[in-house]
Structure 1
Amino acid sequence: MAKLTAVPLTALVDEPVHIRVTGLAPFQVVCLQASLKDEKGVLFRSQAFYRASEMGEVDLKHDSSLGGDYMGVHPMGLFWSLKPEKPLSRLLKRNVNIPHQLHIKLCYPYFPVEGIVVSPPLDSLILERWYKAPGVTRIQVKEGRIRGALFLPPGEGPFPGVIDLFGVAGGLIEFRASLLASHGFATLALAYFGYDDLPSRLEKIDLEYFEEGVEFLLRHPKVLGPGVGIISVCIGAEIGLSMAISLKQITAAVLINGPNFVSGIPHVYRGQVNPPIPFNEEFILTNALGLAEFYRTFEETADKDSKYCFPIEKAHGHFLFVVGEDDKNLNSKVHANQATAQLMKNGKKNWTLLSYPGAGHLIEPPYSPLCPASRTPSVIPGVYWGGEVIPHAAAQEHAWKEIQKFLKQHLIPDLRSWL
């Protein structure tokens, strides 16, 4: 009798799962299917075909998929190859207090034909995928102008502090902060527009607001200090870079696919205004899917005239640039290379660059499905983010480990005693 197993059944989303099938006929071909519904009811699905061994077993750690949504040996392929039934949907966890429920089915291979009744699955199970580990505390933050959510690891601490910034989606996005807290970081998911009483639209980047967020985090008795880190993506990475230059408390900045200049909205700090650089609307591309690609819009300015670049050499902390070389929203590889060249020119060695061929703009925690395109409030019908499924998945898995190592290295004065 065919039996499907997965270990563990309950885990954090960045933890691998060992999936096996036993009790099959020798060399039998079967289909493994995965599905989940997001909080809006959008269904995400994936499938892969496997041939059993002469012992009648399939082990995703060692066996190669024959086809489906991926081919080759990929133990977590069913997770990162999930695709939405509703086009331009992104799997974005909003409520981190409840897990994703991932349904996995073991089926006979079949091709959907109208009028043909599909056999029931040979076996099935449900996995719980959490963004928040047991004991992690979530504290709603509404202090002064600051709006967000603070996640604290279990225990007395103190813990290294991190501020988490996202980009054009706006609102309060907590999944990465809660996951970092699950790995020992006191993390503030900081909203800056489109949430609570914050502005509905971004008209300026007020760095003093973000400075208040840094000071709030450092005042907390469970935050280690004397500095904090930033993890950021897209416009959030632009803000993160600007913060690292202006605020001495920033010890480590993770910048995922961001520009090294003010891209569209002026930055303001203590009366000084840093205006956005010119961009060429003619370079906004519409691809074959009718989706916008913005990665060429700053070519004529950012690539050739360094006067537009942030004075990154003034920063006191360390930088980790994470680049998807297939980013279709920003020319992230060029911007990161320009930033590191500027640091080297000034005799600085306070940076690391991770550059991933085939990875797109939205590099997220491991085993998250690639989101190549999605809707955004300001672009109709949507934005093409880029990325190829398998190399993007590999980039996410590698980068997440390196991000945590980098933050620990630069936020924990005596790492050995902390470990």
Structure 2
Amino acid sequence: MIGLTVSPEVSLVDEPVKIQAWGLPPRENIALRAWLKDEKGRIFHSIAFYLTDDEGKINLERSPSTGGDFYGIHPMGLFWALRPAIPFLRLIKHDVMGSPLYVHLELYSHLVITPSPDDVPLVSKVIERWYVSPGVQRVQIREGRVRGALFLPPGEGPFLGVIDMFGGAGGLMEFRSSLLASRGFASLALAYFAYEDLPDFLGDMDLKYFEEAAQFLCNHPKVSGDGIGVIAICKGAEMALGMSSYLPQVAATICINGTNAVNGNNLSYGDLLIPGIPYRSERLMLTHGGTLNLSRAMDDPRLPQHQDSVYPLEKARGPILFLVAEDDQNYDSLFFAKEALARAQKYGKKDVYLRTYPGAGHLLEPPGSPFCPVSQSPFFPLPLMWGGELLAHGKAQESSWKETQDFLRKSIPCSRRNKL
């Protein structure tokens, strides 16, 4: 009898699973395929080839892939490698509460690349990958100007509070906040443009909006009011650094592949106006595949005319962690992070840290998120290059997710830390 087991069959997307098969001919080439449909019914799929052992078994924790989408021993490789059947799509789960991702795993007795109708799997399994654990509550937020969704862990709290932001795609992305709440944080997924009654496009920014969000979270009865954390990527990371530089409510900050200065759009905070460093559109790079590389489109913040745009991060109340992908092809994020670290050292701020990930691309997300090296963005005419290499990026997402949680737990003050 041929068998295929996946354990656990129901899990959070950031949890690893164990995949094993048995009852196959010894020393036989087989194929394992994974596929799913996103919320619009679009297919993402991956495949890997394996050689069964002398007992006709494979165990992805010990058996190396001999080909397909990746090589070597990578137990979660099939999940990392999920790619869109239609080019330039990015897998984003919007309805995190209503349903999981249903991942289909299929075992074939021969090496297939794209199964035809005649290719029938020997055995298959469907598993559930959730973005939220049981008991987590989602609260739609429309408080004053603040728009977003607050995810609360089960229990009375108080919990460590975190504001979570994404970048230039706009709208509201909730998948990281729901996972953070599943790990014990009260996480506010914060929108700042292209959502509900917020501006349709990213224009000049008002730090008072983010201050209002920070104060709302601090005042929430289930959140420890001693200070909050902020985690953000891309343009959101730029705003996160501004929050840490000026807002006393921010006790810890994680900037994922961001900058050290205000870019493009001006930032105001009361009477303070921070000019945005103009983008250099003449430096946009077109690839032979018809995609855009933006990594050189930001000007050097060290230039004399841009000094007023650099964030005074030395004024930040708490620690700052820069998580940087070394193969980021959207921002020169390593350069910006090193500049931020140099400024911190210049002014004697000792709690600014830099963690780099060789081979990782711009979209550094929780583990279980498929590697996305290029995708269409709603505000650009061509798909954007994000960069990275599959295996290095998958490993970086696993490492950075653990480091993210450790840093937030260590850095956000809470008088009842044992609740976590």
Q: TM-score, normalised by structure 1?
A: 0.96
Gap change, CA 1:175 and 1:252, over 3 Å in 2: same
- Mean CA deviation greater in 391-400 or 286-295: 286-295
> For the Cα contact (< 8 Å) 2:157–2:419, is it kept in 1?
no
| SS in structure 2 of the partner of residue 90 of structure 1 | coil
Q: For 1:313 and 1:165, locate their aligned partners in 2 and report how far apart those are by CA, in whole Å.
A: 22
Q: Which residue in 2 is equivalent to 1:204? A: 204
User: For residues 326-359 of structure 1, what are the alpha-carbon distances to aligned partners after superposition, in whole Å with 9 as ceiling and x for unaligned?
Assistant: 1111100000000001101111111221111111
Q: Which residue of 1 aligns with 2:140?
A: 140
Find out whether 1:173 has 2:186 as its counterpart: no
Superposed, 1:12-411 pairs within 5 Å as 12-97=12-97, 98-111=99-112, 118-299=118-299, 301-305=300-304, 307=307, 308-411=309-412
Tell me which stretches of 4 or more aligned residues in structure 1 moved more than 6 Å.
none
Question: C-alpha separation between the residues in 2 aligned to 1:222 and 1:288?
Answer: 52
Counterpart Cα distance in 1 of 2:282 and 2:148: 37
Which amino acid in structure 2 is aligned with residue 378 of structure 1? F
1:41 CA drift (Å): 1.5
Report if the CA contact (8 A) 1:409-1:415 is conserved: no
The alpha carbon displacement at 1:416 in A equals 6.2
1:192 Cα shift?
0.9
Letter in 2 for 1:48: A
Question: SS of 1:78's equivalent?
Answer: helix
1:52-79 CA-to-partner distances (Å, cap 9, x unmatched) read 1111110001110000000000000010
Q: Which amino acid aligns with 1:136?
A: V
Is 2:44–2:83's contact at 8 Å kept on the other side of the alignment? yes
Secondary structure of residue in 2 paired with 1:208: helix
- Compared CA separation, residues 155 and 179, structure 1 to 2 (3 A): same
1:253/1:29 Cα in 2 relative to 1: closer, same or farther (>3 Å)? same
- Give the CA deviation at 1:219: 1.1
Aligned residue type for 2:319: H
Report if aligned partners of 1:412, 1:418 keep a CA contact under 8 Å in 2. Answer: no
TM-score, normalised to structure 2's length? 0.96
Is this contact kept in 2: 1:186–1:223, CA < 8 A?
yes
Secondary structure of 1:404's aligned partner: helix
Counterparts in 2 of 1:112 and 1:131: CA distance versus 1, 3 Å: closer
> C-alpha distance in 2, partners of 1:150/1:278?
34
Aligned residue pairs total: 417
Question: CA offset at residue 111 of structure 1?
Answer: 4.4
Post-superposition CA distance 1:276-305 (Å, at most 9, x none): 113322211111212111111224x22555
Distance across 1 between alignment mates of 2:166 and 2:412:
21
Unaligned runs of 5+ in 2: none
Aligned residue for 1:337, secondary structure, equals helix
1-structure distance, mates of 2:328, 2:260 = 15
Contact 1:138 1:150 in 2 (8 A): yes
Question: What amino acid does structure 2 have at the position aligned with 1:302?
Answer: P
Deviation (angstroms), 1:413? 3.8
Structure 1 position 272, deviation (Å): 1.6
